[in-house]
């Protein structure tokens, strides 16, 4: 494990007490923090969740104390970077690190540290990014629309509201010495745009923390999650989970979404160790979120690390599961331009349909991936199938070529607007795919243009 970088630079140390339970299989469950500086909590909790015990090692409730200590510079390497030493003795873990760092910092407060003591005012707030979001003590919530990253004009921002009691509780969580001891800016490259920031007004005092190019505010993950859960950030950025489109899976996947588990998020980012930890913590390999999407769908629809997909299949992931609108794991693979042969071998249904009649082959045609289309055809995919509007795989190909994908992907329509021809996809690949489909007796039923107009084919 590592000493949290921002905590180290801010010279924050202290003890973190964690309770957990070992079940009959030796798995860790019910991990909770009893007392701690908030900025050190995540490192300790994640460490406990990664532990493994023998199944005959005894069951029951346990506790462990992590002692985070900043020691002499002998724990720094020749470049001034700090190393971390971990010593485990019985129910205690000592995490020692040098106080040096290659992280530059600005705006650091001078001791004695001033933690707000005044009560909250209705205008107190917490503001986060990205996405830009502001919660006021009165309960008002403001955010910039998705895709707009400029400095916010809160007078023009979208507005919502949550109970003032919930808003005040969120802001009050920042009344800690650990937060108010942080500097204004941490960076490894001062020219970078902040990868994240927090701005808090509490009792009339205001504080900014900006982190550039390093994982720093991850120490406040619990606070970020609490803010976004209270404001329902995922829904107002992506929409109702029950109507969410396949292509939106990767949009703000780190934001809390009803039903989405840590296993799903870890699988999406291809982090095998985190996937194992989430399973060990009790997440189900076949659970589903409010869109009906499973951990295997998140793995295939995300960074698609082959080892994660293989691991989930070995753990019993259902390769035939379907989302609320009929989406299957093979469709998520196709949407990324891949006919995953491992999924097909595991029993994935090649001719399954979505609620609008789309098949994996149609979605794959959008990517003009001729070789992968051949894989699906050899596996028994029916190229002649049409969706509920009578459109063929060739229509899906031509629409995508014109920047008008029938099922949304990461290809944006504006990429081709203003050009004189449909050139969103490689021309040779489009011709090759169209030729393959034509050999299967499939042609487009519409004439597609960049402007998105449809004309019946003669």
pLDDT at residue 66 greater than cutoff 60: yes
21 pairs with which residues across the strands? 29, 61
Q: Do 227 and 245 share a domain, yes or no?
A: no
What pLDDT is attached to residue 113? 65
Closest CA to 291 of 340, 319, 341, 332: 332
Three-class DSSP category at 293? coil
Q: Please give the residue range of the domain that contains residue 153.
A: 125-231
Q: What is the pLDDT of residue 457?
A: 40
> How far, in Å, CA of 132 to CA of 155, rounded?
14
Residue 451 lies in a domain: no
- Mean pLDDT throughout 399-421? 60
Is the whole model's pTM more than 0.85, yes or no?
Answer: no
- Only one residue has tokens 């769908």, namely 297
- pLDDT value of residue 412: 40
Whether 258 maps to a domain, the answer reads: yes
- Residue listed under structure tokens 């895709």: 147
Same domain? 389 vs 310: yes
Regarding whether 271 and 134 lie in a shared domain, the answer is no
Residues 395 and 321 in one domain: yes
Residue 456 lies inside a defined structural domain of this protein: no
d(CA 9, CA 2): 13
Range of lowest pLDDT (65-74, 223-232, 235-244): 65-74
Q: Are residues 164 and 23 in the same domain?
A: no
pLDDT at 415 (0 to 100): 37
Tokens found for residue 406: 């029938």
Report the relative pairing of strands 446-448 and 454-456 from DSSP bridges.
Answer: antiparallel
Does 40 map to a domain? yes
> Of 3-7, 39-43, 298-302, 362-366, which gets the smallest average pLDDT?
3-7
Looking at the fold, whether 338 and 433 belong to one and the same domain comes out as: yes
Confidence check: pLDDT of 315 > 80 = yes
Q: How many helices (H) and strands (E) does the chain have?
A: 16, 15
Highest mean pLDDT among 221-230, 242-251, 348-357: 348-357
Domain total of the chain = 3
Can you tell me the mean pLDDT for 418-439?
Answer: 78
345 or 215, higher pLDDT? 345
Three-class SS state of 158: strand
CATH number where 366 lies: 1.25.40.20
| CATH number of the CATH domain containing 27 | 3.30.2420
**Alpha-carbon distance 358 to 362, whole Å?**
6
Give pLDDT, residue 190.
Answer: 45
Residue 327 lies in a domain: yes
- Beta-strand (E) ranges in 36-101? 60-71, 84-89, 92-98
Within this chain, do residues 137 and 82 fall inside the same structural domain, yes or no? no
Confidence category of residue 440, pLDDT binned at 50, 70, 90: very high
pLDDT at position 414, please? 35
Q: Is residue 117 part of a domain?
A: no
The pLDDT value given to residue 98: 66
Residues 269, 407: one domain? Answer: yes
Q: For residue 139, how many other CB atoms are within 10 A of its CB?
A: 17
374 pLDDT more than 90:
yes
Band the pLDDT of 191: cuts 50, 70, 90.
Answer: very low
Task: Kindly give the pairing relationship between strand 196-202 and strand 185-187.
Answer: unpaired
In terms of domains, do 292 and 421 share one?
Answer: yes
**Residue pLDDT, tens place only, 102-125:** 667 788 887 666 788 888 988 899
Are residues 82 and 227 located together in one domain of the fold? Answer: no
Residues 244 and 302 in one domain: yes
105 found inside a domain:
no
Residue 363, C-beta contacts closer than 8 angstroms, at least 6 positions apart: 331, 334, 335, 396, 407
374 and 307 assigned to the same domain: yes
- Assigned domain for 201 exists: yes
Q: Distance between CA atoms of 219 and 203, rounded to whole angstroms?
A: 23
């Amino acid at each position: 494990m590592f000493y949290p970088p921002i905590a180290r630079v801010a010279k924050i140390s202290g003890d973190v007490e964690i309770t957990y339970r070992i079940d009959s299989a030796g798995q860790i469950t019910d991990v909770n923090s009893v007392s701690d500086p908030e900025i050190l909590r995540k490192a300790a909790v994640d460490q406990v969740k990664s532990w493994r015990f023998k199944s005959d090692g005894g069951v029951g409730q346990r506790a462990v104390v992590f002692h985070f200590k900043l020691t002499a510079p002998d724990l720094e390497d020749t470049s001034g970077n700090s190393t971390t030493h971990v010593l485990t003795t019985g129910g205690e873990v000592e995490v020692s690190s040098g106080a040096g760092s290659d992280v530059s910092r600005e705006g650091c407060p001078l001791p004695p540290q001033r933690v707000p003591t005044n009560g909250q005012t209705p205008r107190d707030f917490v503001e986060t990014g990205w996405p830009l979001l502001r919660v006021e003590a009165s309960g008002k919530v403001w955010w910039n629309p998705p895709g707009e990253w400029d400095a916010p004009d809160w007078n023009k921002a979208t507005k919502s509201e949550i109970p003032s009691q919930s808003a005040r509780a969120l802001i009050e969580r920042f009344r800690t010495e650990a937060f108010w001891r942080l500097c204004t800016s941490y960076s490894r490259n001062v020219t970078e745009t902040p990868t994240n920031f927090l701005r808090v007004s509490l009792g009339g005092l205001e504080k900014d923390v900006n982190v550039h190019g390093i994982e720093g505010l991850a120490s406040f993950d619990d606070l970020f999650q609490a803010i976004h859960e209270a404001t329902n950030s995922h829904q107002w950025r992506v929409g109702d989970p029950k109507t969410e489109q396949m292509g939106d899976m990767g949009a703000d996947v780190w934001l809390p979404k009803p039903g989405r588990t840590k296993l799903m998020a870890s699988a999406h980012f291809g982090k095998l160790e985190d996937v194992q930890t989430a399973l060990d913590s009790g997440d189900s390999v076949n659970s589903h979120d409010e869109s009906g999407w499973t951990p295997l769908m998140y793995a295939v629809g995300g960074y698609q690390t082959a080892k994660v997909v293989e691991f989930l299949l070995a753990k019993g992931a259902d390769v035939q599961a379907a989302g609320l609108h009929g989406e299957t794991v093979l469709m998520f693979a196709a949407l990324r331009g891949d006919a995953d042969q491992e999924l097909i071998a595991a029993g994935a249904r090649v001719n399954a349909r979505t609620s609008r009649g789309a098949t994996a082959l149609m979605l794959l045609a959008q990517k003009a991936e001729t070789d992968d289309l051949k894989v699906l055809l050899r596996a028994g995919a029916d190229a002649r199938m049409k969706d509920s509007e009578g459109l063929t795989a060739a229509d899906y190909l031509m629409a995508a070529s014109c920047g008008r994908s029938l099922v949304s992907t990461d290809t944006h329509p504006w990429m081709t607007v203003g050009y004189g021809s449909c050139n969103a996809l490689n021309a040779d690949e489009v011709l090759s795919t169209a030729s393959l489909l034509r050999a299967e007796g499939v042609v487009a039923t519409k004439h597609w243009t960049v402007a998105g107009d449809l004309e019946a084919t003669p």
